[in-house]
């Protein structure tokens, strides 16, 4: 259900950006000072929110990691194996990142999947994903499969320069749009 909500959020964000782009184009084309000023202020609010979110993300990274760990592990213990969509998303994640659980195989110990089957997901024993042998606790302990959170953080750190460059580029475009709209606003009679 959370993925559906993300889809709705992205649709709403696209609609807002479409309306904002239309407002800017309309203000520039018709030389409407009110539309240009609204465009500027809405873009300024979005820019300030993005900068604030980046600062908060940098300052509170460790706190966010702690709360994310608590939330994710509790959700795995409660829903993995009982909710089909949640289980499928985790399976895809573990398969794609070659990882097991959020921290490691112990995240599944109280899950419905483990309770029903008395084995861990096959991704926790990565050399036998196709399943000739079940992934028991002993086998999972012997396998050095790391948690998905560590793998995801590693991937993010590897691509941090690209992500930062894209974010800086978007911020630059927003600043350029604000400068142009203010220039037009000031030079209209």
More confident residue, 122 or 127: 122
Which of 70, 74, 69 is CA-nearest to residue 110? 74
pLDDT at residue 1, as a whole number = 54
How many folded domains does the chain comprise?
Answer: 1
pLDDT at 150 > cutoff 90: no
Where in the sequence is the domain holding 116, given as residue range(s)? 2-187
Contact (CB, 8 A) for 184 and 27: yes
Residue 82: CB atoms within 10 Å: 13
pLDDT at 43 > cutoff 90: yes
Q: Which of 67-81, 98-112, 145-159, 168-182 has the lowest mean pLDDT?
A: 145-159
User: Mind listing the pLDDT tens digit for each residue in 125-143?
Assistant: 876 555 568 888 888 888 7
Those residues whose C-beta lies under 8 Å from the C-beta of residue 129, and which sit 6 or more positions away, are: 95, 122, 123
Average pLDDT over residues 88-115: 88
How confident is the prediction for the chain on average, in pLDDT? 86
Please state, for a pLDDT cut of 70, what percent of the chain lies above it: 95
């Amino acid at each position: 259900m959370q993925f559906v909500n993300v889809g709705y959020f992205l649709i709403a964000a696209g609609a807002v950006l479409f309306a904002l782009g239309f407002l800017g184009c309309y203000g520039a084309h018709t030389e409407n000072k009110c539309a240009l000023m609204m465009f500027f202020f809405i873009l300024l609010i979005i820019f300030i929110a993005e900068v604030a979110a980046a600062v908060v993300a940098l300052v509170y990274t460790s706190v966010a990691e702690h709360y994310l760990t608590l939330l994710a592990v509790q959700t795995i213990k409660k829903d993995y194996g009982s909710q089909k969509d949640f289980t499928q998303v985790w399976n895809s994640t573990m398969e794609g990142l070659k990882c097991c659980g959020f921290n490691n195989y112990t995240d599944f110990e109280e899950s419905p999947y483990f309770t029903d089957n008395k084995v861990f997901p096959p991704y926790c024993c990565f050399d036998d994903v196709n399943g000739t042998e079940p992934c028991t606790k002993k086998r999972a302990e012997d396998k050095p499969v790391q948690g998905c959170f560590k793998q995801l953080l590693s991937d993010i750190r590897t691509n941090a320069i690209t992500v930062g460059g894209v974010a800086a580029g978007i911020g630059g475009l927003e600043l350029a749009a604000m400068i142009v709209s203010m220039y037009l606003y000031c030079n209209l009679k």
